[in-house]
Amino acid sequence: MSPKKLNLKDKYKLLTRDLDWEFSYEDRKEAFPYEEFEGIKITDWDKWEDPFRLTMESYWKYQAEKEKKLYAIYDAFAQNNGQTNVTDARYVNAIKLFLTGVSPGEHAAHLGFAFTGRQMGGIGARVAAQMQSIDELRHIQTQIHAMSHYNKFFDGFDEFNHMHDRLWYLSVPKSFFEDARTAGPFEFMIAIGFSFEYVLTNLLFVPFMSGAAYNGDMATVTFGFSAQSDEARHMTLGLEIIKFLLEQHEDNLPIVQKWLDKWLWRGYRLLTLVAMMMDYMLPQKVMSWQEAWELYFEDAAGALFKDLERYGIKMPDYTDTIKQEKEHLSHQAWWIFYQYTHAAAFHTWTPTAEEMDWLSEKYPDTFDKYYRPRWELAAEMEAKGERFYTTGLPQLCQTCQIPMAFTEMSDPTQVSYRESIYNDERFHFCSDPCKSIFDNEPEKYVNAWLPVHQILQGNCGGGGLDKVMEYYHLDDGVANLEFEGSPDAERWKEWKGVA
């Protein structure tokens, strides 16, 4: 007699909820030691609704199918010399930024979801977080594999892993994820699961993936598509976690609201890199950062927060500041990288005349008045053979770790300086929200590994800039500096037969 075949419903139950067991001789609190310290109250984990509706068995099957297709396309891309089909070699710098700045975040998310997949008390939530953890690991792998082909032809990719723990601007995404991962499991779930993967995800992935599509980068487009169904699942998990926490106990509301305020801002500051990528790095532009923010945040997330109002949730603090900054953000960011590109693992350049006109059209209230003159100055210096690389090291914000380059929205020519004194030591911030995040948990952020201070303490190779470059594994004169005249640019000209 053949064994009885399970119907789908029973199989699902046995392979998800039924994986848990009653604790007969161990204290459940000791098994889940992180579950209470954040102040979140869970009354009944059985109320958790599984967002994925997937068993591990079918998960592997689906993912294996996707992998097969993805790697067939990677092979074809490599065999057809896909790297020669991008719009311009400048484009490749956008994906250098992706590999060094975004992909390690996938790995950090993998670790974070592995942690919550162990530490949340409810089996439904644990299984979902574990699946997301494996997804994130898959994402960094597929991204590395997609980029590995570019690595054969362009500089700045090869040491991404080493650089992630060292380079000054990479401390921005690194510290963002470490902030989330060193919080408790529920804050992590709101920070990354909801705020980042639900509210802000379209502002990260759509610009990079559409940017790739517009610029002939089929490898990146393909991993984007392959990750899309995973991202859709992650969004449902993000939404389930916030609804679940809010439905479990009314005391959870103020805690969750505070996390939303904090993580929307933290995520937005991180997206500064995306803003400059969209407005300055794509030879063929998709839309402006301002348009993306309006479409994906103001419209889409506006509706989401409206929906959450019934739980007592309000629109996160500081969205008004972000709204004001949208006409300034990308210009201020690219200016940082333009002048510090000698210490960056990608090239920068002044926008062309056509690009400046595009920027004027997209940013009619700000570009010509505040930012066009910066590029005119840069072009003037370049024409004299004095391409502008600035001297000295920037002062950094203690919270977001970005150089103190952001300005007052009431006076966009004035840098916005904020400070707090904690335990007789002075701390500096780029903005009110970054200051307020610090003031809430100073014992967390005094610990920040600020790259500039680490250099000045002699912890980054010691000695001068040359030692720092060695410590970074940054190939000086090759992977850094101005795009024009770089080995990347020269190789590209050779391929295209341009003198």
Partner 1 sequence: MTIRALRDDYHGEFKDSLEKFGGAQLVYLGWDKHQMFCSSRAFPLPPEMRFQELLDNVMPEAFGQHPEFTQIDWNKAQWILDNSAFQPDHSKSLTELDIGHKSLLRLVTPELTGYKGAGI
Does position 346 interact with partner 1 (CB under 8 A)? The reply is: no
* Cβ–Cβ < 8 Å for 31, 23: yes
Does position 451 interact with partner 1 (CB under 8 A)? The reply is: no
Does position 364 interact with partner 1 (CB under 8 A)? The reply is: no
- DSSP state at residue 295: I
- DSSP state at residue 415: B
* Cβ–Cβ < 8 Å for 218, 226: no
Binding-site string for partner 1 from residue 255 to residue 294, where x marks contact by CB under 8 A and - marks none? ----------------------------------------
* Cβ–Cβ < 8 Å for 205, 224: yes
Taking the complex as a whole, the smallest distance from the CB of residue 387 to partner 1 amounts, in Å, to 11
Taking the complex as a whole, the smallest distance from the CB of residue 319 to partner 1 amounts, in Å, to 24
Does position 31 interact with partner 1 (CB under 8 A)? The reply is: no
- DSSP-derived secondary structure for 80-148: TTGGGGSS-GGGHHHHHHIIIIIHHHHHHHHHHHHHHHHH-S-HHHHHHHHHHHHHHHHHHHHHHHHHH
Q: Which of 443, 497, 498, 499 contacts partner 1 by CB under 8 A?
A: 443
In terms of Cα–Cα distance, which of 171, 105, 161, 145 is closest to 473? Answer: 161
Q: What are phi and psi of 327, to 5 degrees?
A: -90, 0
Q: What are phi and psi of 162, to 5 degrees?
A: -65, -45
Does position 34 interact with partner 1 (CB under 8 A)? The reply is: yes
Hey, what's the torsion of the CAs at 261, 266, 270, 272, to 10 degrees? Answer: 60
> Kind and range of the H or E element at 495?
helix 487-496
Whole-number Å distance between alpha carbons of 343 and 451: 12
* Cβ–Cβ < 8 Å for 365, 290: no
Taking the complex as a whole, the smallest distance from the CB of residue 112 to partner 1 amounts, in Å, to 16
Stretch that binds partner 1, among 21-29, 61-69, 220-228, 408-416 (CB under 8 A): 408-416
Q: Which of 373, 463, 477, 485 contacts partner 1 by CB under 8 A?
A: 373
Binding residue count for partner 1, defined by CB under 8 A:
56
Taking the complex as a whole, the smallest distance from the CB of residue 195 to partner 1 amounts, in Å, to 17
Does position 467 interact with partner 1 (CB under 8 A)? The reply is: no
Helix (H, G, I), strand (E, B) or coil at 421: strand
> Kind and range of the H or E element at 187?
helix 185-188
Does position 462 interact with partner 1 (CB under 8 A)? The reply is: no
Nearer to partner 1, 361 or 380 (CB): 380
Does position 343 interact with partner 1 (CB under 8 A)? The reply is: no
Contacts (Cβ under 8 Å, ≥6 apart) of 492: 88, 89
Near partner 1 in 135-194, by CB under 8 A: 183-184, 187
Taking the complex as a whole, the smallest distance from the CB of residue 17 to partner 1 amounts, in Å, to 28
Does position 404 interact with partner 1 (CB under 8 A)? The reply is: yes
Nearer to partner 1, 465 or 478 (CB): 465
- List contacts with partner 1 (CB under 8 A): 33-34, 37-39, 183-184, 187, 332, 335-336, 339-340, 369-370, 373-374, 376-377, 388, 390-396, 403-405, 407, 413-415, 417, 419, 423, 425-428, 441-450, 452-453, 456-458
